[in-house]
Amino acid sequence: MHHFTYRDGALHAEGVNLVDLAAHVGTPFYCYSTATLERHYRVFADAFGGRDTLICYSIKANSNLSVIKTLAQQGAGMDVVSEGELRRALAAGVPPSRIVFSGVGKTRDEMAHALQAGIYGFNVESEAEARALSAVAQEQGRTARIAFRINPDVDARTHAKISTGKAEDKFGVPWNDAAALYALAADLPGLEPCGVHMHIGSQITDLEPFERAFKLLSDLVGDLRTAGHTIDFVNLGGGLGVPYRGTDDIPPHPDDYARVVERAAGALDCRLLFEPGRMIAGNAGILVFRVLYLKHGDQKRFTIVDAGMNDLIRPTLYDAHHDIWAVDEARGQEPALVQDIVGPVCETGDFLARDRALPPFREGDLGAVMTAGAYGAVQASSYNSRLLVPEVIVRGDEYAIARARPSYEDMLAAEHIAPWLTPRKAMGRA
């Protein structure tokens, strides 16, 4: 469910006509819908109505400050994976008590900053990290609330690059080490082990892996309590999938997900934390491009557009499918043609769609890559010295440029030519 629909023959983001928006902002650009962000957060939160929950939106999916603030105003906490993301959350006014810090490689500086800020807790991914965090906390005279991230060795049945809960993935600590690690943490002076964390992967479209993982987690909480630990929260991570292919692959509804959670963890008498990212932001964003040229190769029809893999890397990195719509509704109703949609970047992997039956785009047409709100702009780069793609957020019939396209002057000003490369003025004798 999202708020990108045709009206008066043109695709709109809520009440904003994308033809007009493209004329104002220039292409390519990302466009986010406030109503969609809010709706997704509410659907998720309402699925757990009545329970003591803390829903920490996973900032890495889309870290635009306006997106963070939109969700924070709905009551969302934040899941961060770096000091940069922590600073974004704080800059958007998120209370530190609603922030959790994840990731396998937090530096001591990052730990110190997060402790000073007074965040809710840390998801700890190794014994070495636990020891480092304890030392940093002790230096500050503080105690860090922690949950070990448990790797349950469950196959989330998702793309290999976004599976995180198998024994061979770098994430979490092995299930079998958990008892010893909690005992160690309880002895370390700077730590208070009071939660258990799991996050088994992303774009999960089947509830069964969640069910198995949560059952393991719930058993572990029982064992830890028996061993004398006070476990007051469990963090079930994120991972719920979104529909990338129109209406073909409907992921589980949050209500069904909530039933699985209830069955596995409902009796634990714990605060429940969640870290949804994609499920909140995915369908709330699109990438708008303009068609530059058409080219008929020997075998293929190429539609060359002004957005490339540097703006949206998901198709080439994860073999991801994104629906592509014509902004002009009439064009979308003409008979489809099989084509590749490719960008200007000098890489064969620079495509947005391959061998797909899509509208018969013509030069100058606008198109929209759908479901691009999560893991889109955040992974953009300036490869080929292309300017970082701007981000626009819409609310009703208003829009705001939430991150501007930099200028070429900005791009060049960030670099300095090494002094020895600049010829010195001739000195003294010739």
Ligand X SMILES: *Cc1c(COP(=O)(O)O)cnc(C)c1O
Instruction: List residues with catalytic annotation.
Output: 346
238 contacts ligand X (rule: CB under 6 A) = yes
Q: Should residue 60 be labelled a site residue for ligand X when binding is judged by CB under 6 A?
A: yes
Distance in Å, CB of 416 to ligand X, minimum: 35
Quick one: tokens of 209? 């892996």
Residue 121 or 277 with smaller CB distance to ligand X: 277
Q: Helix 108-117 crosses helix 83-91 at what angle (to 10 degrees)?
A: 20
Q: How far is the CB of 76 from ligand X (least distance, A)?
A: 13
When asked if residue 110 is in the footprint of ligand X (CB under 6 A), the reply is: no
Q: Is 308 in the site for ligand X (CB under 6 A)?
A: no
11 or 234: CB nearest ligand X: 234
Secondary structure letter of residue 414 according to DSSP: T
Measured from the CB atom, the residue of 102 and 134 that comes closer to ligand X is: 102
Residues 171 to 200: which contact ligand X by CB under 6 A? 199
Given 195, 239, 252, 315, the residue binding ligand X (CB under 6 A): 239
Using the minimum distance from each CB to ligand X, give the nearer residue, 13 or 55. Answer: 55
79 in contact with ligand X (CB under 6 A): yes
Minimum Å distance from CB 346 to ligand X? 30
414 close to 423: Cβ distance less than 8 angstroms: no
Interatomic CA distance for residues 391 and 70, integer angstroms: 14
165 is an interface residue for ligand X by CB under 6 A: no
Of the candidate spans 57-65, 186-194, 248-256, 365-373, the one that interacts with ligand X by CB under 6 A turns out to be: 57-65
The residues, any chain, with a CB within 8 Å of residue 219's CB and separated by 6 or more, are: none
Least distance (Å) from ligand X to the CB of residue 17? 30
* Site membership for ligand X, residue 373 (CB under 6 A): no
Rank residues 16 and 89 by Cβ distance to ligand X and give the closer one.
89
CA distance 301 to 291: 13
Which residue, chain included where needed, has tokens 């635009």? 64
Stretch that binds ligand X, among 6-14, 25-33, 235-243, 358-366 (CB under 6 A): 235-243
The piece of 136-144, 232-240, 349-357, 390-398 that touches ligand X (CB under 6 A) is 232-240
Q: How crowded is residue 297: how many other Cβ atoms within 10 Å of its Cβ? A: 8
What DSSP assignment string belongs to 242-267?
---STTTSPPPPHHHHHHHHHHHHGG
DSSP structure string for 185-213:
HHHSTTEEEEEEE---BSSB--HHHHHHH
Q: Which stretch binds ligand X (CB under 6 A): 2-10, 221-229, 273-281, 396-404?
A: 273-281
Taken in order 330, 362, 343, 354, the sign of the CA dihedral is: positive
Chain length of the chain:
430
151 near ligand X, judged by CB under 6 A: no
CA distance 64 to 388: 13
276 labeled part of a ligand binding site:
yes
Neighbours of 155 (CB within 10 A): 13
Instruction: List the 10-13 sheet strands across, edge first.
Output: 4-7, 10-13, 16-17
Nearer to ligand X, 4 or 57 (CB): 57
Q: How far apart are CA 145 and CA 231, in angstroms?
A: 11
Scanning 58-66, 254-262, 401-409, 410-418 for contacts with ligand X by CB under 6 A, the matching segment is 58-66
53, 63, 202, 371: which one binds ligand X (CB under 6 A) = 202
**Is residue 254 at the binding interface for ligand X, with CB under 6 A as the rule?**
no
**Distances in whole angstroms, Cα of residue 129 to Cα of each of 126, 133, 148, 168, 220:** 5, 6, 10, 19, 21
Binding residues: 239, 275-278, 314, 318, 347, 375
Binding residues for substrate: 278, 314, 318, 347, 375
Instruction: Give residues in contact with ligand X (CB under 6 A).
Output: 58, 60-61, 79, 81, 102, 199, 202, 237-239, 275-279
